[in-house]
Every structure is written in C-alpha cells, then in structure tokens.
C-alpha cells in the first residue's frame, strides 16, 4: 500500500530552488570580475598545473572585458544570496531541522562507508534517516561555505570599513583567494550533487519539488479490516 | 465498513492526494521558474541609463548600485576608519603601472612648467606650484593600493594631506561643499570625490613615491592618493581642482562603474 512520507519542508524547498539560479548568477558575474585580473593558478616549482580557466572557456561564455557589468550584477544579487541564506539558516535553527542536517559524532566515520557504497566497493550503506552521513557533512559544509562567501565578499568589497572582517580573513589578498576558492568549491559540489541526484533517481528529485515521497508499505492486517475497497486499491 | 464521514466532502484516496500535491507543487514550480526566467530576461535586456554623470549600466542595476552604496556608506562609513598601514620595507620597489588615460598627451608634458589650478567662485583660479606644496607638512603613507580589477599592492607614497592643503590655502568654505572634482591638464581623465572621502586624514596630494619624485607614468608631478577608494579614483597628473554640490563628472562612472567606488 502506498503512503505519503513527508520529506522536505516548503521553506527548505523554496530556499533550495531560489538559491540555485542566484548562485549561478553570482558565479557568472564573479567570473566577469575575475577575468579583469585572472592571476590565480596552481603553480608548484615554476610549473603551472591549473590555470583558472582556459581561454576557450572565457571565449565560449563571452566573458572578457565586462568588469563593470560583472560588478553591477554581483552587487545586486549578493543581496538575494545573503537574504536567502540568512532566511534558510534561521529557519533551520528555529524549526529544529538542523537536527537532520548537522553531522553527528559518528558521521565522519559513516560518511566513509557511504562513499564506499556509492563507489560500489561496499554492498550495504549504513542506515539513515532523511540524510545520510555524507549528505550531512556536504550540506552543512555548503552552508558554512555560503557564510564564508558573504564574509570574504564583504572583506574585499569594503576592506576599509569592514577592516575587522578583512583582518579575520587574513588580509585583503587572502580574503580574495578564499572568496575564489569557495567558488571552485561550489562548482565541485554542484557537479557531485547533480551526479548523485541523477543516480538517486526521479523519486528523490521529485521530493525536492513536492516535499514528499511515496513509500510502499506492506499493509498491516489491522488496517486492512477497516479499509473498504476504495482505499485498498 | 465505512467510517462515518465528519465532512460531507469525500476523503481523498492516497492516489488522489499524491496526484493533487504533485500537480500543485510541480505547477507552482513551473510558474515560478518561468517567472524567474522572465524576470531575468527583463533585467538583462533592460535599457541602459541616459548617459550623464553615470552611464553604460542597465537602469535597474544602476539603481541597485546606488542604493547599495548608500546603504553601506550609512551602515559603516566612518571618517575615523583608517586604512591599514604597513612598515616601509613592505612597500613594492616597482610600483605597478596600470593605465595612462589622461596622460597620452600629444605634445610632451613638462612637469617643470606645471601648476595646480584651483578653480574658485567667479572663475577665479588659484595657481599653486609644486614647491609651494612641498613647503607644506609632508605626510607619508604605506598602504595596500587596491585596483577595481582585483589586484592590490603595498605602496609607499608621500605628499600633502588634502585637508592640510585646504587649510593652508583657506579653502574651508569650498570644503563645506559636497564634492571635489579633479581633472588632468588635458581633461582626458577626471574624477569626482565626495567631500568626506577627500577630507579623510589619509587622502594625499602626493608628489613622492618610494622617497623619490613621482615619475611621469605614475602621474608626475602631483597625483591623488585616496586610500578609501579604488585605484580608479586615484587620479594621476592632477591639473585642476574644482568644488561643487553636484557630482562632478567621473571618467569610470561614465563607463558603468559605481560613482562612489569606496572601500
């Protein structure tokens, strides 16, 4: 017999889907800014391993020479990004949903087992509630990253007025590197997240829009006796 | 056996409940997604502002930029917030050179014949030589110069505080106005500065870099060093200074950047 299992609250779904386009715009407009002075690379002993990003990437997206436009979009959508994030964090705390989200003491050990399971090395995954251990760590990390982006962002936006934030981030230069690194983090998270969602299937995806999952439960005899044929189908 | 109906309305079956909730949520999702997409298209294709003191930006974006700047200025701007300074040894030996707008003069510029022109009321012009400026108290600063492009560099500059300059030449009445405008001698580059930032104790009319007279490419003989602003406001080769209660024209604001560009 099918039953409805409530899964995601309306607020969580709202924040999730509002955040998705906003974060995309923030990354895009951030790239417009970054291109004005694209100095970052991973260089060890004079050999450049990674250059963010290759030239074809910029050309495809039409990114060069649009610093002013990038800043304008970035400084508008930072409001929505921040407000949405603040609302989500407050909601999570007040509603008590943080209990489902924050890693538990054994989460870090369990996340390893989840990973092995996902890689098809281990047959069974540890039992879970709403989120498994790996999800708890990833989703909590992404919230902290969001807070980090706002703080490092403010630190490089107004380094004189928010001098204490800039100091907290280890200076202007380091704050900018953190701000950039967090963006790389979002992109990596996004790729893994999408792959996982595809693997988890439609039912899982659908629940982030509708809020519930349909579960097939073996009917209990006690209920069967009171059921009429209408409910039994 | 049927449970007695409390409502006249028939209880929905599980299947109906699922369909109903899916219809509502997916429907709402589609409507919101379409709305968001339309909103984005509207913003992205919105007309640009009529070019004036500011230009190039989409109208709603300009509004947002202005509001954001005012918000942060009211929230955190404080004249006593000093820019962090560093020991002299940390200053870059080779000061980064980024632009020569306003200095690509067709005829050769000669700093020796240069005089700073301060435009006063009624068209009266006060002419100040570099030696007069050097006779005023000298202020040094070693701080992190920040470019709007994202790079920054610790640099060592010296010159006369703008506020000292105002005092010495008895321009206090002008300093009560809201803005200072500065332009290069060829009028090719120009900036508008709000008075609180201009009167900030770390704002300099600089004539030295790394203890030497400023070279031509860095704005000899006199440039603005205003640490509370991005590099684009640090005008090289100051030709004239004017005061007004309306925003003076500003090169990069006309190109779509925020007028205030404060840090």
Interface of B with A in 208-227 (CB under 8 A): 227
The predicted-structure confidence for A40-64, as pLDDT tens digits, reads as follows 666 666 666 666 666 777 777 776 6
Indicate the average pLDDT of chain A.
Answer: 81
Three-state DSSP state, B216: helix
The predicted-structure confidence for A161-192, as pLDDT tens digits, reads as follows 888 898 898 888 889 889 989 999 999 999 98
Q: What residues pair up with A7 in beta bridges, in sequence order?
A: none
- Spatial distance between the Cα atoms of B147 and B145, rounded to a whole number of angstroms: 7
* Chain B residues touching residue A157 (CB < 8 angstroms): 72
pLDDT grade, residue A232 (50/70/90)?
very low
- Spatial distance between the Cα atoms of A119 and A104, rounded to a whole number of angstroms: 23
- Spatial distance between the Cα atoms of A114 and A124, rounded to a whole number of angstroms: 8
- Spatial distance between the Cα atoms of B156 and B141, rounded to a whole number of angstroms: 6
Predicted structure pTM score = 0.82
* Geometric angle at alpha carbon B185, from B184 and B190, rounded to 5°: 25
Q: What residues pair up with A2 in beta bridges, in sequence order?
A: A216
Q: Verify whether the Cβ–Cβ distance B64 to A75 is below 8 Å.
A: yes
Mean pLDDT of A194-214: 86
Mean pLDDT of B149-168: 91
The predicted-structure confidence for B207-246, as pLDDT tens digits, reads as follows 999 999 998 888 889 999 999 999 999 999 999 999 999 9
CB atoms within 10 A of CB A100: 16
Q: What residues pair up with B180 in beta bridges, in sequence order?
A: B193, B243
* Chain B residues touching residue A172 (CB < 8 angstroms): 144, 146, 152
* Chain A residues touching residue B13 (CB < 8 angstroms): 230-231, 233
Integer CA distances (angstroms), B209 to A27, A172, B225, B237, in order: 37, 22, 11, 14
Q: Verify whether the Cβ–Cβ distance B56 to A68 is below 8 Å.
A: yes
- Spatial distance between the Cα atoms of B83 and B80, rounded to a whole number of angstroms: 9
Torsion, CA B173, CA B177, CA B180, CA B185, rounded to 10 = -60
- Report, in angstroms and rounded to the nearest whole number, the Rg of chain B calculated over CA atoms: 28
ipTM above 0.85, yes or no: no
Phi and psi torsions of B160, nearest 5°:
-105, 135
Q: Map out the domains of chain A as residue ranges.
A: 2-217
Torsion, CA B83, CA B89, CA B93, CA B99, rounded to 10 = 0
Shortest Cα–Cα distance, A142 to chain B (Å): 23
Q: Is the dihedral of CA A10, B27, A132, A1 positive or negative?
A: positive
Question: DSSP string of A98-142?
Answer: HHHHS--TTHHHHHHHHHHHHTTSSS-PPP-SSS-HHHHHHHHHH
The pLDDT of residue B3: 56
Three-state DSSP state, B154: strand
**Most confidently modeled range among A35-39, B30-34, B110-114:** B30-34
Interface-testing mutation among B39, B151, B263, with chain A (most A C-beta atoms within 10 A):
B263
- Spatial distance between the Cα atoms of A97 and A8, rounded to a whole number of angstroms: 10
Of B18, B60, B255, the CB nearest to A214: B18
CB A160 within 8 Å of CB B83: yes
The pLDDT of residue B243: 93
Whether the per-residue pLDDT at A147 is higher than 90: the answer is yes
Q: Verify whether the Cβ–Cβ distance B57 to A214 is below 8 Å.
A: no
Q: A172-181 long-range contacts, Cβ below 8 Å, gap at least 24?
A: A172/B144, A172/B146, A172/B152, A173/B144, A173/B152, A176/A152, A176/B150, A177/A40, A178/A148, A178/A152, A179/A149, A179/A152, A179/A153, A179/A155, A180/A34, A180/A40, A180/A52
* Chain A residues touching residue B15 (CB < 8 angstroms): 2, 233
Tokens linked to B112: 């020796």
Q: Verify whether the Cβ–Cβ distance A68 to B21 is below 8 Å.
A: no
CATH class held by domain A2-217? mainly alpha
Cβ-Cβ pairs closer than 8 A, A with B, add up to 113
Whether the per-residue pLDDT at B197 is higher than 80: the answer is yes
pLDDT grade, residue A233 (50/70/90)?
very low
Greatest CA separation found in chain A? 77
* Chain A residues touching residue B228 (CB < 8 angstroms): 160
Residues of A at the B interface, defined by Cβ within 8 angstroms: 1-4, 17, 21, 25, 33-34, 36-37, 39, 67-69, 71-73, 75-76, 79, 157-163, 166, 172-173, 176, 206, 209-212, 214, 226, 228, 230-231, 233
Whether the per-residue pLDDT at A195 is higher than 80: the answer is yes
Indicate the average pLDDT of chain B.
Answer: 88
B86 reaches A (C-beta below 8 A): no
The pLDDT of residue B2: 54
Q: Verify whether the Cβ–Cβ distance A158 to B14 is below 8 Å.
A: no
């Amino acid at each position: 017999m099918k039953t409805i299992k409530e899964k995601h609250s309306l607020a969580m779904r709202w924040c999730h889907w509002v955040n998705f386009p906003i974060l995309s715009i923030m990354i895009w407009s951030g790239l417009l800014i970054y291109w004005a002075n694209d100095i970052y690379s991973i260089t060890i002993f004079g050999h450049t391993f990674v250059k963010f990003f290759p030239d074809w990437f910029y050309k495809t997206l039409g990114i060069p020479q649009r610093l002013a436009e990038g800043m304008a979009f970035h400084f508008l959508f930072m409001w929505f990004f921040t407000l949405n994030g603040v609302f989500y964090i407050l909601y999570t705390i007040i509603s008590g949903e943080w209990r489902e989200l924050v890693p538990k003491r054994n989460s870090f050990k369990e996340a390893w087992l989840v990973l092995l399971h996902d890689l098809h090395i281990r047959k069974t995954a540890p039992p879970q509630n709403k989120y498994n251990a790996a999800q708890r760590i990833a989703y909590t990390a992404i919230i902290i990253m969001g807070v980090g982006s706002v703080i490092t962002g403010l630190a490089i936006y107004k380094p004189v007025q928010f001098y204490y934030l800039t100091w907290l981030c280890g200076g202007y230069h380091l704050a900018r590197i953190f701000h950039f690194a967090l963006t790389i983090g979002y992109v990596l998270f996004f790729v893994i997240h999408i792959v996982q969602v595809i693997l988890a299937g439609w039912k899982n995806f659908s629940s982030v829009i509708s809020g519930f999952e349909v579960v097939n439960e073996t009917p209990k005899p006690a209920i069967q006796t009171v059921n009429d044929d209408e409910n039994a189908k | 056996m049927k449970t007695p109906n409390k409502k006249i309305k028939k209880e929905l079956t599980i299947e109906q409940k699922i369909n109903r909730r899916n219809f509502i949520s997916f429907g709402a999702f589609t409507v919101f997604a379409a709305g968001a997409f339309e909103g984005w298209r509207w913003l992205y294709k919105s007309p640009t502002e009529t070019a004036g003191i500011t230009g190039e930006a989409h109208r709603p974006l300009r509004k947002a930029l202005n509001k954001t700047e005012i918000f942060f200025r009211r929230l955190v701007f404080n004249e006593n917030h000093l820019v962090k300074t560093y020991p002299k040894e940390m200053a870059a030996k080779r000061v980064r050179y980024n632009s020569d707008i306003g200095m690509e003069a067709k005829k050769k510029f000669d700093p020796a014949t240069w005089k700073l022109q301060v435009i006063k009321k009624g068209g009266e012009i006060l002419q100040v030589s570099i030696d007069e400026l050097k006779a005023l108290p000298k202020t040094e600063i070693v701080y992190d110069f920040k470019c709007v492009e994202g790079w920054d560099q610790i640099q060592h500059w010296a010159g006369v505080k703008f506020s000292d300059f105002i005092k010495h030449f008895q321009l206090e009445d002008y300093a009560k106005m809201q803005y200072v405008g500065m332009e290069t001698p060829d009028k090719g580059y120009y900036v508008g500065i709000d008075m609180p930032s201009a009167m900030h104790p770390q704002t300099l009319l600089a004539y030295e870099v790394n203890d030497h007279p400023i070279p031509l490419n860095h704005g000899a003989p006199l440039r603005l060093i205003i640490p509370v602003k991005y590099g684009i406001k640090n005008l090289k080769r100051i030709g004239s200074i004017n005061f007004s209660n309306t925003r003076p024209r500003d090169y990069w604001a006309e190109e779509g950047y925020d007028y205030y560009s404060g840090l």
